[in-house]
Chain A
Amino acid sequence: MALRGAARVLFRAADAGLKHHARGLRFTAVLGHRSAPQGPMPNEDIDWTRLDSLEKYRSYTRYVRSAEEADRKDVWWKTYRKYREEEKEEAVEPVNIGLPYQRPSRKTEVKERKKVMLENKKNPEMERDNRLRTFRIPLDRVKTQWEQTNGPYHIKRLAEHYGVYKDLFPMAYFVPRVMLRVLYGEDSSAPVHYGNHLTPSQAARAPQVHFEAEETSLWTLLLTSPDEHLLDGEQEYLHWLVGNIPGNSVSSGQELCHYISPFPARGTGFQRYIYILFKQEHPVDFSSDLRSSPCYCLKERTFRTLDFYRKHQDIITPAGLSFFQCQWDQSVTHTFHTLLNMREPVFEYDRPPVYHPPQKKYPHGQPLRYLDRYRDGAQNTFGIY
């Protein structure tokens, strides 16, 4: 009774506003009960009676640009993007735990760059190559310059895309200012960038690590895998930890946990292996992190980067980041059997259960197998008659 009364009140109030609507009450549907829309309907402002007087787009690009603008505009109805943003807004604002960065003076930078660009424009060979389309850009020079300007931000964006910060440092992020070059293989045939695919056989031995560092500086290198843990999904396995590295040479650092090759279990797909380079202010006492050498006990290799970082957070700062992805191959079987001395686990993909809406007491128009959907595995009713 009360509901019907409320609906009648709504109708009377709605009548006033809806007379001017293009759609009217009959065609405005809001999930079951009819009521007035809470804002202007789309395309309401277009006068469709006199189409010839409207301004036309006359070009596809102009239409696409206005369509994208309209897409980004805020509207009164809830869109899929709003639902996703709400999930993100509930999370805490992440903290920057990286190295501080002093941007060079913009004025001098702009002046120098303008000079270079003017020289390029005047260069006749470059103009000829551009005209005849034979110009090939030197990729290595572009990469070196990219590492000095845009690189750290692009790597940070990719690390967010791969969920590196979410899994390693839950409420923090850092911009990797120091470029970390990790090369696997004796002839440096398998480099590690930011997400490329490598095989466990390529990553079997410890790699050569290069990064720019002053002679008196101290660093810590860490290789961790957040997806590999066989017992607990929230923990990581520590593959390599070298502390108190003087300057550039990783071999003269204190090896706290010796290198073990990746062992992604069969059937689990691609797993991330993340290299983090920390900058130390002064020598750190890593006696609590020292593992036995060699360490093939998975319990000892269980690790959480967050706890390690929290322990030494006053002295170390994350400065470099590099990660790759690995899938199972034959050498992993060898690792499990010989090094870890255990049987190899094999997994299969478990599909998430099919969604069924909440069960109704009187399902109208549903077949008999409607009950089977909520029976949780007991014997089916179809196929037995």
Chain B
Amino acid sequence: MALFSDVCRGVRTLLGQCQRSAATAAWIHCQSSWKYSQTAPEPEPVIRDNEAIDKTFVNRNPRNLEQMALAVKDRGWATVWPSRQYYHRLVFRRTQHHITAEVFSGDSVDPVLSCSTKEWALKRELGSTRSVAACRAVGEVLAQRCRDAGITRIVYREVPWKFRSGSNQTFWTALKEGGIMLSEQRQKFI
């Protein structure tokens, strides 16, 4: 939830400009459609019904502040690994039989998005559910789901000896080619 309030001078001048353009538009409209009634536009705008707005605007979208990079990240974990300073994180797990990739948000225990070879949609296309090709498939499908969900910037932290493996590298490239940025914006402290 975010609180917005209008700024005095800048907004008033901006509103003034908008009002002027509305008045000119109205005047041209009058001139073009009703040529016989030469009614001049009102010198001062009358507050119409639509213009009754609240000075403070509340945006209930819980993901708005994260997308504007204004939400607070969980800071203070600089001396430990992995850091919790992110909005969304990516987890890539390989077990003996399956491959799972999940996107978590903040402190949530349940994933927001997930893609796994355990799902029938992927299992039926794959010959082997634990090969490098399967990692690539999981990466591509997860990239499509993230794009469709509007989450395009995720943080991916992995230990170096796992990150260098062929399966991890193919998964990482597949995500990047699918259009996901594996780094997040820095929080804005305005």
Contact = CB atoms under 8 A, between A and B. Distances in A.
B4 A227 contact: no
A130 interface: yes
A205 B11 CA distance: 30
Interface stretch (A29-37, A188-196, A242-250, A363-371): A188-196
A196 B53 contact: no
Interface in A332-359: 333, 336-338, 340-352
Contacts, number: 213
B53 A270 contact: no
Contacts of B107: 80-81, 84
A342 B109 CA distance: 45
Interface string A242-277: 000000000000000000000001011111100000
B42 interface: no
Contacts of B19: 343
B121 A142 contact: yes
A305 B106 CA distance: 29
Contact of B56 (A158, A265, A350): A350
A81 B109 CA distance: 9
Contacts of A129: 127, 133
B90 interface: no
A139 B67 CA distance: 27
Contacts of A141: 125
Nearest to B128: A130
A132 B107 CA distance: 39
Given A129-B133, A139-B144, A194-B148, A158 B21 contact: no
A135 B4 CA distance: 50
A102 interface: no
Contact of B4 (A139, A194, A268, A272): A268
B40 interface: no
Nearest to B141: A142
A267 B107 CA distance: 28
B150 A325 contact: yes
Interface stretch (A6-14, A145-153, A310-318): A145-153
Interface residues on B, range: 35 or more
Nearest to B6: A347
Contacts of A345: 6, 15, 53, 57
A224 to B, nearest CB: 12
A233 interface: yes
Contact of B125 (A81, A133, A137, A150): A137
Interface string A187-208: 0000001111100000000000
Contacts of A134: 133
Contacts of B15: 343-346
Interface string B12-53: 001100110110010000000000000000000100111111
Interface in A110-129: 113, 116-117, 120-121, 123, 126-127, 129
**Which are the 9 A-B pairs with shortest beta-carbon distances?**
A193-B148, A233-B58, A347-B4, A195-B150, A126-B127, A137-B137, A145-B121, A135-B133, A230-B53
Given A145-B120, A268-B2, 11 more contacts: A130-B128, A137-B137, A142-B125, A161-B105, A167-B60, A193-B148, A194-B150, A232-B54, A340-B50, A342-B22, A344-B18
Interface of A: 60, 80-81, 84, 113, 116-117, 120-121, 123, 126-127, 129-130, 133-139, 141-143, 145-146, 149-150, 154, 157-158, 161-163, 167, 193-197, 226-227, 230-233, 265, 267-272, 296-299, 324-325, 333, 336-338, 340-352
12 contacts: A136-B136, A142-B122, A161-B105, A163-B61, A227-B64, A231-B54, A345-B57, A347-B4, A347-B5, A348-B7, A350-B4, A350-B5
